[in-house]
Amino acid sequence: MALRLMMKPPLSSSKGLLFFYLVVLFSCNQSINAQTNQTNSTTVPSEDKRGVIPEEILELPYLDFLKIDKNFFSGPLPAFIGNLSRLGLLSIAQNNFSGPIPKEIGNLKKLYLLSLGNNDLSGTLPPELGNLVELGELYINSCGLSGEIPSSFANLKEMRIVRIGDIYNGSSSSLDFVRNLKNLTDLVLRNVLLTGNFPSYIMELQSLQKLDLSFNNLTGQIPSTLFNMNSLIYLFLGNNSLSGSIPSQKSETLQTIDLSYNFLSGNLPSWVNSRLQLNFVANNFTLNSSNIR
């Protein structure tokens, strides 16, 4: 857990903020710039810290880095966190936060990393997250959310890593927002109610290294061009409703492929061999001796 501050004393001595310090800064290593008397960084390992985020945190106007992962913080993620205008990193994963994701997070225009995974949140993904135009990494999985992925995510053109998972209830989601995210290297949308045919514009993501669209309801055939993307290393499409055959050719880069639990059929292509990491179970493939290598 890490909390990096850049602030000029004096700060309020209110009990709420003091309590937050006692919780977050316990056993910390703190470096001080003696010339300016500013706190440059505060780092705390992940431990059994508990409590809520107090409103007095707003008295840290230079706060740009808040990371409190793997603890037992609880209560709602407060709306006032949207007033921390300098915040560049917000990571609260693996805690016990509850309630909806506040739309005010969309006010954090300097945010480059947002991680909310493994909490007890509820509600839907707020469209206001599409205002985070500097965001490069987004991690939201196993949070108890419902509903669709907002179309406003198409505004996140600086995004390199998107990992959203486990949206169980609500209307189906579209992949259309991905069209504009040309810098993606990791696209993980696992169990998020995706439907429809596999979109051809995925192949326009020339930097994509990992694609995981498992546990959705994608239909239709797998485009042959997907297997020939020069950048793609990891491909996970298991537990969908894909049909047809596997492309007969693939790039040398693509080394890990999971197509399990679909409706694929036909002969296995000649490139299948034991040196690759493959999972093709629960389909209708025809196996012959040439596939055993």
Q: What is the 3-state secondary structure (H, E, C) of 259-278?
A: CCCCEEEEECCCCCCCCCEE
> Looking at residue 290, what is its pLDDT?
57
Nearest to 174 by CA among 218, 117, 116: 218
pLDDT tens-place values along the chain, 293 residues long: 444 443 333 344 444 444 444 344 433 333 222 223 343 233 334 556 678 888 888 988 889 999 988 888 999 999 999 999 999 999 999 999 999 999 999 999 999 999 999 999 999 999 999 999 999 999 999 988 999 999 999 999 999 999 999 998 877 888 999 999 999 999 999 999 999 999 999 999 999 999 999 999 999 999 999 999 999 999 999 999 999 999 999 999 999 999 999 999 999 999 999 999 999 999 999 876 555 55
Average pLDDT over all residues of the chain: 85
230-274: per-residue pLDDT in tens?
999 999 999 999 999 999 999 999 999 999 999 999 999 999 999
- Sorted by where each starts, the structural domains of the chain and their CATH numbers stand as 2-193 (3.80.10.10)
Nearest to 194 by CA among 174, 222, 165, 220: 174
pTM of the model: 0.85
SS3 at position 130: helix
Burial of 147 (0-12, 13-18, 19+ CB in 10 A): middle
d(CA 59, CA 38) in angstroms, rounded, equals 15
